[in-house]
A and B are shown apart, each in its own frame.
Chain A
């Protein structure tokens, strides 16, 4: 049901203050529904026409004890009337639902930033759980901020006083009160959230009604009470015309693979074992059965990739999804795929490590494992998407290259891309690349390892094809026949041809493109999810007249053909990475350039300022 925006009838409109960009973070206990509030606010902002970028940040434990520091969950959003590259460095607005959330997050709030807290939650018990000696709302420690104490818990209960919902259920609606307040503060339309609530609680109409009432109560609270003097207005961003939706990296990968299989004209098979932050791809693909998608939840990651390889042998578009610990387990099977030369896409949604590490936090430290983490010489192409929406095209590209070159391909995403969202200009199906798969059926002149002269790939022959019965396996094969061979010179020939095949894929990937002048003092080279932070920092430096350019690598193996030549046109090279320096090693080894690393290993993406500072330092230093 379409309801007019609540403020339409308000007699006196409060003044509107225009802002270009706002960075807001919702923080609360992991049971407080902060992810939902953040996601819905994101949606509202997208519908209001802003460009945006999000960063959800949740604890590794599903239910850490309520009110504790370990249980704090956050969702950050940067929305703007200009182009947005990152979720933002420092916060303009912080919503803190309890003392623990305040303590964990207030350090990121800008001086004079808006701080909205749920007053009742700052009671003795919660203060103790957060390890706070005094009540920060009373001891003057928050003087640097514009503090708004709102009785969120009480107002939610009051709103639902006349329902007979249990107190616990009422309490769980309070995230919508907070969302309502913030929606008013930034003049966001709330109809989309109301529709979402209706969908979400389709089977519990009383809950849907309650949440909607609380949302609206929050909105009206902002509008009518004296507490806020003005609301803010963030004009729509000027972005390319077309139809948009919000998309996270994991969703983009999932639908990207569905699209890829359709464009290849084959069924999609996912073999996977649940692991954070990759599981959502499995969840999502499991709902696409009518697209001829099979999802096989295997007994472990080895069986996940093994089943996928079996499906590839049978002619499916085969993929497997995991994170670092799962990659370790899959190595032997990826190597088998290299040896038998079957198409397979392996998605590694990187997270902090080593070992179990930081399951819910981001990192990009699996690059060298993807490059070299298998026994012997075992080249595998690597693609790294740079934004959540880019994951869609990375999936298409990975499948296209895997089937064309009959090879496993690794896609390196990470926790930040996986859960982060951005507006996505929805492509037309007719604009997507098509790469229909054909299997060899002709027995004349057939050999299992007969190579295409141009791509060096072998024919894909699926069981069920008469007169082409053959055997493949992990033992070394004779160059043409594929029969087991231990002949020394044949082994060298095979190792070299496998390497040449992957190196030759360079013909199929675009040359490296520099953002900004193509020569100068400093080139900032990155890969994967650091794209946004680097782009923002470089843009800023360029606006300040500095001689700085950006080069972002999407293809890490093979590297673009012109890369060496591009690197040599800059006096200095800076490589920011969320690891101890992995791409920087590859570049130094491959091109003998004096590239310098900027390394952040905190489970968090770069702030723009961190890159800016280093850019400035490098420019100031002589040589």
Chain B
């Protein structure tokens, strides 16, 4: 994003609207809202240049609570609307808020295409692995066999993984963070903002209403060191309470190894945000046998779509001159009747 320095120091309260927040008590959306409101003033973008666009879902109510420009649109279509806005107005800092249903089910098509085009927009996908707003049907990220209102004897659907989907589109920035990991969430948002091109962040959202324990064990104090694999660029992939486990590459596959049992840090792969193959392997690690990777899986540079378009426009004016309407109307074969 273009970073025009804000005139005066902004504060968190500048980003709070006068609307009552209507999420259920304890909903993970609150934590995400709080962190976004906290980090926005620090990005150095004038508040009037920030736009939040969402689809439909509990998560998509988000723009109403952000005191920026906002557009709560229709189910699944936020990436399309954001694409048009960003291409028409490259000066704006455009953010999409979507859910696992909104972004991956009804809006899956738009999501893959905005990622493929690499339009300079930041996408926050709140993944609670359920349709919250419609009161608890399974979503494309719900585990197979899940019992919900629409699947009384278990869902026959196989889920997919948002990060693998994003990486499959060759997205240039793909990250995962967790609603309650305040610092990590803030830092990931900052990174997304700095990235030129589409930034995709999956935010794991714990959930107590229709999908209790959606990410059980992931955020509890006593287990999270064992269950989270925090990725940092250029650092070996180590986890565990005593930082005694690591991820090693062996025979083209990733495996967990104990650092006490003969392996050392040099045996582990260093995290490289530019390596598409490692990123994909990380995104597909089965949760039972592996810790859940969080952080930036992939960050590479590629000219964003909106910049290419702007350049084409500039070139057209340069080579053809600014368009003249009278010339346009009189193009082609003409004749005069007197």
Contact = CB atoms under 8 A, between A and B. Distances in A.
B73 interface: yes
Nearest to B313: A289
Interface stretch (B174-182, B185-193, B325-333): B325-333
A313 B79 CA distance: 14
Interface on chain A toward B: helix, strand, loop, or mixed SS? mixed
30 contacts: A49-B335, A49-B337, A196-B333, A242-B337, A243-B336, A245-B332, A245-B335, A259-B328, A269-B84, A271-B84, A289-B313, A290-B319, A291-B328, A298-B83, A299-B110, A306-B84, A307-B80, A309-B84, A310-B81, A311-B88, A314-B92, A318-B88, A427-B329, A463-B85, A464-B89, A471-B64, A471-B70, A473-B72, A473-B73, A474-B72
A463 B67 CA distance: 12
Contact of A474 (B19, B46, B74): B74
Given A289-B316, A314-B92, A429-B329, A470 B70 contact: yes
B333 A302 contact: no
Contact of A463 (B19, B69, B313): B69
A612 B263 CA distance: 94
Contacts of B72: 471-475
A314 B325 contact: no
Given A310-B53, A314-B85, A314-B88, A243 B330 contact: yes
B164 interface: no
Contact of B85 (A262, A288, A313, A483): A313
Interface in A260-312: 262, 267, 269, 271, 288-294, 296, 298-300, 302-303, 306-312
A47 interface: yes
Given A246-B333, A303-B80, A469-B67, 6 more contacts: A49-B337, A259-B329, A294-B313, A296-B84, A299-B113, A472-B70
A294 B87 contact: yes
A192 interface: yes
A314 B121 CA distance: 14
B84 A463 contact: no
How extensive is the interface on chain B, given as a class?
A: 35 or more
Interface of B: 17, 19, 46-51, 53, 56, 63-64, 66-74, 77, 79-89, 91-92, 109-110, 113, 309, 312-313, 316-317, 319-323, 325-326, 328-338
Contacts of A288: 323, 328
B333 A192 contact: yes
Contacts of B49: 463-464
A258 interface: yes
A484 interface: yes
A438 B316 CA distance: 27
Interface string A215-247: 000000000000000000000100111111110
A311 B73 contact: no
Contacts of A352: none
Q: Which 10 A-B pairs have the closest CB atoms?
A: A473-B72, A307-B84, A306-B80, A310-B84, A291-B323, A289-B316, A471-B70, A310-B85, A303-B80, A311-B88
Contacts of B81: 306-307, 309-310, 313
Given A306-B80, A310-B81, A463 B109 contact: no
A468 interface: yes
Interface centre among A241, A303, A307, A332 (most CB of B within 10 A): A307
A51 to B, nearest CB: 10
Interface in A44-93: 46-47, 49
B333 A465 contact: no
A427 B313 CA distance: 27
A340 B72 CA distance: 10
Given A336-B74, A471-B70, A311 B87 contact: yes
Contacts of B70: 469-473
Nearest to A262: B325
A121 interface: no
Contacts of A291: 322-323, 325, 328
B330 A426 contact: yes
A243 B335 contact: yes
Contact of A290 (B17, B85, B86, B320): B320
A255 B84 contact: no
A469 B333 contact: no
Contacts of B84: 269, 271, 296, 306-312, 314, 318
Given A49-B337, A303-B80, A310-B53, A245 B331 contact: yes
A294 B73 CA distance: 22
Nearest to A299: B113
A484 B321 CA distance: 47
A465 B48 contact: yes
Nearest to A255: B328
Contacts of A309: 73, 81, 84
B71 A471 contact: yes
A502 interface: no
Interface in A438-473: 462-473
A426 B69 contact: no
A482 to B, nearest CB: 11
Nearest to A392: B329
A292 B323 contact: yes
B334 A307 contact: no
Interface centre among B50, B74, B92, B326 (most CB of A within 10 A): B74
Nearest to A462: B89
A469 B47 contact: yes
A353 B144 CA distance: 41
Contacts of A523: none
Nearest to A43: B333
Contacts of B46: 466
A470 B313 CA distance: 30
Contacts of A300: 109
Given A242-B336, A311-B87, A289 B325 contact: no
B92 A463 contact: yes
Interface centre among A306, A332, A483 (most CB of B within 10 A): A306
A521 B88 CA distance: 54
A429 B325 contact: yes
Contacts of B316: 289-290
A475 B56 CA distance: 10
A314 B337 contact: no
Interface centre among B72, B312, B329, B338 (most CB of A within 10 A): B329
